[in-house]
Amino acid sequence: MKLHRISTAVLAAATTLALAACGGAAPDDSSGGGGFTAEPAEGGTVHVLQNADFSYLDPARGWDGGVNNFYRLVYRQLTTSAPGSSENPTEIVPDLAESLGEASDDGLTWTYTLKDGLKFDNGDPITSAEVKFGISRAWDPQIGIGSPYLKQVIDAPKGYEGPYKSGDLPTIETPDAKTVVFHLIKPFPEFDAVLSQVNATPFPVDSGAGDEFIHELIASGPYKLAEYVPGSTIKLTRNENWDPATDEVRAAKPDGWEFTIGLDPATIGERLIAGQGADVNAIAGNIQPATLPRLQTPQLKERVLEFPGICTTYMGLNTTKKPLDDVRVRQAISYAIDRTTIVNASGGTQLGAPSTTILPASVAGHKDFDLYPSQDGTGDVEAAKKLLDEAGLSDGFTMTLDIRAQESMQAQAEAVQQALERVGITVELNLIDTSTYYETIGTPSQQHDAAITGWCPDWASSAATFIPPLFDGRNIYEKGNGNLAQINDPEINERIDEIGAMTDIDAANVQWGDLDEQILELAPIVPLMVAKGVTLPGENVTGLFSSANAATGGIDYVGVGLKDPEKG
Amino acid sequence: MMPSQTDLTAGTVAQSGGAGGTWRALRHDVGAMLGLGYIALVTLVAVFAPVLTSISGWTPYEFDQSAIDPDLGGMPIGAWGGMGAEHWLGVEPGSGRDIFARIVYGARVSMSIALSATALTTVLGVSLGLVAGYFGGRVDLVVSRVMDFLMAFPALIFMIAVLSALPASNRSGLLVVVISVFGWPYLARIVRGQTMSLAQREFVEAARAAGASGTRIVFREILPNLRSTIIVMATLAVPGYIGTEAGLSFLGVGVVPPAPSWGQMIAASVKWYAVDPAYFVVPGVCLFLLVLSFTVLGDRLRAVVDAQEGR
């Protein structure tokens, strides 16, 4: 599950062509704007051009930047992220529920009340039973492979395996048709955010067993599935049973959506630049670095939309390997790294910004600091050499860097190689096939000295989904390990528990920022950069706002619409 | 390239035979001479790569951040992909690495892999072909079925699968082995056929009657008569292997980065064709000319040899 998340993160961060590329949380429409923020008109069809197919239509299975945003058009949960156009888009707001949850004094019991007039696309009402059923699907060993938070936070009987195998989940109570009561394993102040995860979607009781939702879906959101050709197209039409009065998040102005899948990234770029026919109504993910120089003409420049990133690309240093077990060696690497070359190798300043912190600036809790400063971010060779001398490694050493056999990551790895050679560290690149990369580096017995990967928050309103998965020493698994550095520091573990238990999220975020600095003093990872989003929407599209939570920093689909529905 | 035993044998015999005539005929062929000239140039460039890069001032791995524009996706600054006095053939977008240095070192990769693979396939093909053709029977059956099996195999797909599954440590060596495993049957098949017909000739009968051993007959009597076939086949095989290496590098299973290879450079340049065509043209032209040179040379060589044998 962690693996799942990392793959997404880096797919988005590194390929720069994944659908929901890492953009930003900032509500401003950023540079270039050119009227992408105007209120869309009713009607028309929005086209989305993308390379990769959606992982799953079933939200209990799918959980990645590419598909979460799509789920938001067809599925609803008790709570969800505020729309990208709101003042604070990382905020969690009520969706099916009338208000955010009410916690008991001990923080272990959370109560939600459903709104009136909620229906599935087949006309059946959505009641507490359906909410409970949908959530309990997360425990199914075959289906519940998506977001892990429900299972980690909600109490369940030992050995519970979902509604199809184990039946009713007794720890979620439904005293009446409108009330849902959750019992937690331990207090979790951000429980509202947990329920906004895509796998908390309600489904009619007893539906969705096995592979039922592989090619079809039961919609609770403003759109339903009209046509699905795997690997090719997905068409959505209006769900007549969705009542706009119950939904403050989704504007849902267009009459339909059409996703064209399997296009080559270069083709997407060409089509968006040409903007012919129905492509005036098209949006897509990040453009390729090679396309950037072509966007400098005034007509195209006006259409460019930029977002700050929310995903950190970093190099994990395996603290169990010699000589990386020596903190001075890791610090030396942190000093020697040249972030300018890494950013340039990843497409330059428009597609990335150097990062010296674990938390990106757009994630709540970010604290600005640079523990290993250097002039222009090109690395401090002297300081690095001094630390290596102290560690008795004046002659340098050789280490192996795991990288994905994928162009932009290879370019980053080559930049790392060049930077570290200046201090006598020889970096050997170990190319791993894209399909097995995350599995390999997530298996401590197979990972080498270092690896380049990335991480995106599951909700950007706090650092609770950023720091614990990567640095909690009790989360080192034999498979699917997210703590690549394999750092197990009692002080860090203790701080993670303390901050995680804080009920004042704002105060907790300040502490996460401090913990970020505390962790980097041990240099278990070297933050490299935060990939930015640059997209080129069609000229007839509007209502484009980024959402860190719902769209992994890309365009939040719920507000998108057309200026003139008759065009294209 | 390390000349193989077979090549040496063929070479010595060839000199005593019609090598002078072949060379004279080739010397008047403009196409063959141009091809040979380019091959010689690339070979020299590959051999003296460190000297050339020390003159040009950039190693193939050195980043030059001043040669690219960070605000334009890392595009080279200046016309023709940044060509100029500083970087003779421009720079690579994104990193600013010198293309001249990478071409020069890439020639080493292309040439060494192609020539080693040729040497290995020649040794394998000639020896197995001779054995199968001369001894016949069960030996022939086994060798021929192995050849049929390898020739019917979807080689490229298998190469990609094998190369991406094996560890990336010594890719160049692996490339040579993998290319050779699938390459030798083409030569072996022809050698086998010729051996079968030569084995019936009078001089072989005479040697056998004089009490010569099988090995002696194969290597002393039959092999020298195959030299022209082998030389022509080997020359024609080189461009194929250069193309295969470039193709595998293009597909991402070739030499490991940051080691430069022409195929890899072409793969990386495809995305930039619209804004930086020079990046594509330089390695593309080098590769095209090298393959063309070997092909033309091999073709002319065959024409000359055929004419001589026909005489």
Q: Which two tokens stand for residue A396?
A: 């340098």
Looking at residue A6, its pLDDT comes to 41
Res A409 pLDDT > 90: no
Q: Give the gap in angstroms from C-alpha B276 to the nearest C-alpha of chain A.
A: 9
**Tell me: the pLDDT tens digits for B69-118?**
888 888 898 888 888 888 889 999 888 899 999 999 999 988 999 999 99
Residues of chain B contacting residue A344, judged by C-beta atoms under 8 Å apart: 65, 68, 70, 74, 94-96
pTM above 0.90, yes or no: no
Return per-residue pLDDT of chain B as tens, 311 residues.
444 444 434 433 433 346 677 888 888 889 999 999 999 999 999 999 999 999 988 999 888 888 888 888 888 988 888 888 888 899 998 888 999 999 999 999 889 999 999 999 999 999 999 999 998 889 999 999 999 999 998 888 888 888 877 776 778 888 899 999 999 999 999 999 999 999 888 888 898 888 888 888 888 888 888 888 898 889 889 988 988 988 888 887 888 778 888 988 898 888 888 888 999 999 999 999 999 999 999 889 888 888 887 65
Looking at residue A37, its pLDDT comes to 87
Which amino acid is present at B228? Answer: S
Quick check: A348 contacting B, CB < 8 Å?
yes
Nearest CA in chain A to B72: A293
Task: List the one residue out of A165, A172, A107, A108 whose CA is nearest residue A141.
Answer: A165
Cα–Cα distance measured from residue B286 to residue A566, given in angstroms and rounded to the nearest whole number: 52
Do residue A346 and residue B94 have CB atoms under 8 angstroms apart?
Answer: yes
Looking at residue B18, its pLDDT comes to 61
Res A435 pLDDT > 90: no
The phi and psi torsions of A46 (rounded to 5 degrees) equal -90, 135
Kindly give, in sequence order, each residue whose CB lies less than 8 Å from that of residue B220, ignoring residues fewer than 6 positions away: B207, B212
The secondary structure of residue A149, as a DSSP letter, is: H
Quick check: A407 contacting B, CB < 8 Å?
yes
Quick check: A440 contacting B, CB < 8 Å?
no
Quick check: A410 contacting B, CB < 8 Å?
yes
Residue carrying structure tokens 């075959």: A142
Percentage of chain A beyond pLDDT 90 is 62
Cβ atoms within 10 Å, residue B176: 24
Mean pLDDT of all residues in chain A?
88
Nearest CA in chain B to A414: B258
The phi and psi torsions of B39 (rounded to 5 degrees) equal -60, -40
Q: Give the gap in angstroms from C-alpha A376 to the nearest C-alpha of chain B.
A: 12
Cα–Cα distance measured from residue B307 to residue A484, given in angstroms and rounded to the nearest whole number: 67
Cα–Cα distance measured from residue A304 to residue A353, given in angstroms and rounded to the nearest whole number: 18
Cα–Cα distance measured from residue A181 to residue A113, given in angstroms and rounded to the nearest whole number: 9
Q: Give the gap in angstroms from C-alpha B238 to the nearest C-alpha of chain A.
A: 28
Mean pLDDT computed over A526-551: 91
Looking at residue A111, its pLDDT comes to 96
Please enumerate, as own/partner, the contacts of B211-214 that have beta carbons within 8 Å and a separation of 24 or more: B214/B134, B214/B135
Do residue A414 and residue B68 have CB atoms under 8 angstroms apart?
Answer: no
Select from A294, A415, A430 the Cβ nearest to the Cβ of B63.
A415
CA distances (Å), origin B228, targets A225, B189, B195, B215, B225: 69, 15, 13, 21, 8
ipTM associated with this complex:
0.73
Cβ atoms within 10 Å, residue A31: 12
Q: Give the gap in angstroms from C-alpha A537 to the nearest C-alpha of chain B.
A: 19
Looking at residue A479, its pLDDT comes to 79
CA distances (Å), origin A414, targets A402, A420, A511, B164: 12, 10, 35, 20
**Residue-wise over B110-124: b if at least 16 C-beta within 10 A, else e?**
bbbbbbbbbbbbbbb
In which element (H, E) is residue B46 found? Answer: helix B30-47
Task: List the one residue out of A434, A426, A515, A455 whose CA is nearest residue A316.
Answer: A455
Quick check: A418 contacting B, CB < 8 Å?
yes
**Tell me: the pLDDT tens digits for B10-40?**
433 433 346 677 888 888 889 999 999 999 9
Do residue B71 and residue A350 have CB atoms under 8 angstroms apart?
Answer: yes
Residues of chain A contacting residue B256, judged by C-beta atoms under 8 Å apart: 429, 431
Cα–Cα distance measured from residue A172 to residue A175, given in angstroms and rounded to the nearest whole number: 10
Mean pLDDT computed over A400-418: 89
Residue carrying structure tokens 């592989």: A214
Quick check: A50 contacting B, CB < 8 Å?
no
Contact by Cβ (8 Å): A315, A526: yes
Which amino acid is present at B4? Answer: S
Mean pLDDT computed over A488-517: 92
Nearest CA in chain B to A296: B72
